[in-house]
Structure 1
């Protein structure tokens, strides 16, 4: 059974990360994905919106249809998709060389977590990245 990294390990991940690809980011400012991505951007991270339905910049950043379209290194793939859609995202995260795979609160997928871990990614599941950032207070 999957076990999340410790507080210390998650704090280290958040401290070292610079680029966060947000899969499933909505352009609706009232949606949780938008609010959390905006908060992480305000905390100093570069956000890469990943949503094939987006056609205009979100939070000042050009959206991408998939992780494969991003030309810069990705530290964290933060997923705002339903659990049944997570495994292909995990495979794509591995393919693009992401360092971590973070499933937002309420998102579970044991197979995707095991796959990403086996391929060397740090995996966080069913935790809000914004809440962890606020609680763990990683300093840049």
Structure 2
């Protein structure tokens, strides 16, 4: 990570390595509301093979997208590789402290979330830190799902207005 003029810059190789190495993600601030970004990010990341453990005291004990919601990081059944924070920046320090305490490898703060002091503390404890980024967006960007027209929708066409679903195309022997 480098901070240039207040902007955060991350090496694509580092982000790619983090997303390849991570298998389990604790999503702090996961929401049961299908319209919230955390719900969609959790659904997407699960679809990419990540196990996402939702953390939100409001929903503790309920099931979200097939996973039991936990009250805090300490109550998780395993140590996640990454802690993904969907909370306000001012809420980050105690979450970062808990991520350090449980032995997570990565502390990731979502778009709009940044806390330089908590990041420095986590890095000093050996965690990789990413701020103001979304793992869903970065995964799509780095692993070829977001193309030059925006999103790889699985459509092909040689004529304007004509498209074929790739899944139908692939189904042929």
So what's the TM-score if we normalise by structure 2?
0.77
Taking a change above 3 Å as real, the CA distance of residues 4 and 78 of structure 1, as seen in their structure-2 partners, is: farther
**Cα displacement string for residues 87-120 of structure 1 (whole angstroms, at most 9, x for unaligned residues):** 0000000000000000000001011111100100
Question: May I ask how many residue pairs the two structures share in their alignment?
Answer: 138
Mapped partners of 2:22, 2:90: distance in 1: 27
Please identify the structure whose Cα radius of gyration is greater: 2
Give the structure 2 partner of residue 112 of structure 1.
118
Determine which of 85, 91, 98 is the counterpart of 2:91.
Answer: 85
Question: Which runs of structure 1 show a deviation greater than 4 angstroms over 4 or more consecutive aligned residues?
Answer: 1-4
Pair 1:64 & 2:70 matched: yes
Aligned-pair distance for 1:72?
1.2
The secondary structure found in structure 2 opposite 1:105 is coil
Give the structure 2 partner of residue 36 of structure 1.
41
Aligned-pair distance for 1:6?
1.0
Pair 1:26 & 2:36 matched: no
Give the aligned CA root-mean-square deviation in angstroms: 1.3
Aligned-pair distance for 1:121?
0.3
Mapped partners of 1:71, 1:84: distance in 2: 27
Mapped partners of 1:103, 1:41: distance in 2: 18
Q: Structure 2, unaligned stretches of length 5 or more? A: 145-173
Mapped partners of 1:57, 1:121: distance in 2: 29
Is contact 1:24–1:51 with CA below 8 Å preserved after alignment? yes
Is contact 1:5–1:123 with CA below 8 Å preserved after alignment? no
Q: Structure 1, unaligned stretches of length 5 or more? A: none
Pair 1:130 & 2:136 matched: yes
Taking a change above 3 Å as real, the CA distance of residues 56 and 99 of structure 1, as seen in their structure-2 partners, is: same
Determine which of 46, 52, 57 is the counterpart of 1:47.
Answer: 52
The secondary structure found in structure 2 opposite 1:53 is helix
Taking a change above 3 Å as real, the CA distance of residues 21 and 4 of structure 1, as seen in their structure-2 partners, is: farther
Give the structure 1 partner of residue 168 of structure 2.
none
Is contact 1:107–1:126 with CA below 8 Å preserved after alignment? yes
**More strand per residue:** 2
Aligned-pair distance for 1:19?
0.1
